[in-house]
Structures are given as structure tokens and as C-alpha cells.
Amino acid sequence: MKPLTGLKVLELTAIGPVPFAGMQFRQFGAEVTRVLAPSSTDIDFLAESDADLLNRGKTILRANLKTPEGRARFEESLADADVLLEGFRPGVLERLGYVPDELLERFPTLVIGRLSGFGREGPLAPRAGHDINFLALSGVLAAIGPAERPMLPLNFVADFGGGAMHLLAAVLAMLVRRGITGTGGLADTSILAGTLGLTPMFHGLLADGHWTLEREANSIDGGLPYYAIYPTADERFVAVGALEQRFYRNLLELLELDDRFNAEDQYKRDTWPALREAIAARLRERTRDDWALAAEGIDCCLSPVLDFQEAMDCEHNRVNGWISDVPFARPDDLVSFSSDRR
């Protein structure tokens, strides 16, 4: 039995982070129902499709919240729900006639989780935005990529890592509070706020002089030659992350670099250009999989860069039970609970 078995979640139509949060609730055992308009729209084109993994296993409730019949269907489900998730722009839920404070008066045990893009105050509050925009305004985009220009990561750092995970944590916190007090409440955050919430460590490093605003000039942004991505003989790539001295020493032994380089000089910046060239040249001598095999059993933090399909075939991922093949290869059951074994 999953820890959230018996919990009922209503998820109002949204894209990206709210369905992702709903997916997490479902994977933790909750019964999740998506509330969709009667006709398909541009944001539910995969609804009821096996390919729509964010919404796999969710129940669908078709209801037009602008009609009395649709509102009645929604409110009937709401009366039995533990959680309501919504990701509209500020004011939309209220214009539909559902003011959070009034909902909590009618349904005092309900936990409402709200996720906007830019927050509910300020000049950007009513604006549309996507992952790239939230990354841009949080400082994250400027920190990612080569020195020449920022690099666009896949569309989930802000949406899923920032917005969805903060929404999920906040709603779970309110559910714990409800278990203590017996009453629900409101948890409200935004994708921009959640993305800012990913960055405290870097602000601390910056304030302490251990980070600069230049790209490829820091410890974990590609500035270090032993924390970087390198091409191999077959035009594939390996990722090297030998930050600690003991791992760096093992990396030097694996690569058999010449005696210009040793573990004691790891942090001497004047050696880094030559070291980067030497690592790059050596890794170019063999294929990605050859290097991965050579690094087996050695703590040198060298990994093959796998594509999505290769990650699904990875023996390690499969041994841990993280991959399901139904209806096709995909990540699943990524968290193990003691209650699963009962």
C-alpha cells in the first residue's frame, strides 16, 4: 500500500508543473482526477492516451465550470476531495466563482494548492510565461552553458524542478498540518518562486567569493577540467565529475596522464588549460562504451552520456526497478516505500 492511498486529489486543467505534481501524488498512491472541459483543447491533446505519462492512471472528469451543470459536477467531486490543485493565472479561479477563502469555508478539510507563473503580485503577475522565461528571471539561465552564451536546458528545470516540486512539498506540508489540526488550508507558490528556490546554494557561494557570474568559470558549470563533458572516439560523450581529490586521483590513474598532472595540484588554475587538453585528447582515443567499461569499479566519477532510449535500457536503472515496459519503456516506481513490501 502506498502512503497516500485513500487520498483524493482534484487537478484543474493545466499544463506542465500541475500535472507533474498530480503525477507524483498518483505515484504515491493518491486517487487523482483531472477536471477537463467537455471538448479537447490545445493543452489536453494527449488526454486519455498512453503516451501522456504525466496523466497516466488519472481519472478524467469532464465539466464546464462556466455552466451550472459543470459546476455541479465539479462541486460534487470537490466535496469528497482532500486536495485541489490549480495552475491558472492569478484571478482566473476567482472569476470562475471559486474564491479560495470561500472554498475553505464550505470545505474546511480541503487543502488547496495553487501554482501561478510569476506570483500573484507585481507587474508580471498577469503575464504568460514558459520554462525559459522563469529561468531567465531567476538568474538560472544566465548561469548555464558555455562562456559565449546561455544554454537552453530541457523544459523541466523551472516547471518541474522549481514549480511542481515546491507545490508538491507545500501541499504535503499542509496535509501534515491537517492531520494535526483537523483543518485544511491554502498553499500558494509560483514557478518563478520555485525556480528561485533552487538557487540558495549558489547565492551563498557568490556571497562568499566561491562563485562568479561568468559561465564556465566555476566549479560545477564546466569551469573545472575534471567536471566537464568530453567527446569520445565514436562522437559520443562521457561526463566527468571528479571534484574530490580522491576521485580526481583515480581519474588520473584511469586516464594514465603524464607526470605534469597530479592530485596535489588539482586546484592550481594555471594547470587547468593543459589538463583540459590532455583529458580531451585521451578520451578521444577510445569509444564512450570503452571508457565506461574501463571505469567500472573505479570511483572516478566518469559516466557515459546516455540518450533517453539508452537510459531505459541501462542495466543499473533496470536492476533498481525504476523502468517499466508497460505500455512502453518509461520511468516508474522511482521511490520505494516500506509499506510497498507489506
Ordered by where they begin, the domains of the chain are 8-198 (3.40.50.10540), 227-305 (3.30.1540.10)
pLDDT, position 40: 54
State pTM to two decimals. Answer: 0.94
Determine which one of 130, 188, 290, 332 is catalytic.
130
pLDDT tens across 95-108, in order?
999 999 999 999 99
The dihedral of CA 29, 33, 34, 39: what is its sign?
positive
Grid cell digits, residue 45: 491533446
Give the single-character DSSP code of 40: -
pLDDT tens across 8-36, in order?
999 998 889 999 999 999 999 999 999 99
Residue 41 has pLDDT above 70, yes or no: no
DSSP code per residue over 63-113: --TTSHHHHHHHHHHHTT-SEEEE-PPTTHHHHTT--HHHHHHHSTT-EEE
Question: CA-CA distance, 224 to 148, in Å (whole number)?
Answer: 16
Grid cell digits, residue 43: 493543452
pLDDT tens across 117-164, in order?
999 999 999 999 999 999 999 999 999 999 999 999 998 899 999 999
Residue 159 to residues 42, 140, 230, 286: CA-CA distances in angstroms?
Answer: 18, 13, 29, 38
| Phi, psi for 15 (deg, rounded to 5) | -115, 160
pLDDT tens across 249-258, in order?
999 999 999 9
Q: Is 203 a catalytic residue?
A: no
Q: What's the mean pLDDT when you consider all of the chain?
A: 95
Q: Are 120 and 94 in contact (CB under 8 A)?
A: no
Q: Is 159 a catalytic residue?
A: yes
pLDDT tens across 86-96, in order?
999 999 999 99
Determine which one of 44, 82, 131, 159 is catalytic.
159
Count other C-beta atoms under 10 Å from residue 217's C-beta: 13
DSSP code per residue over 183-250: --EEEEEEHHHHHHTT-HHHHHHHHTTS--SSTT-STTTT-STTEEEEE-TTS-EEEEE--SHHHHHH
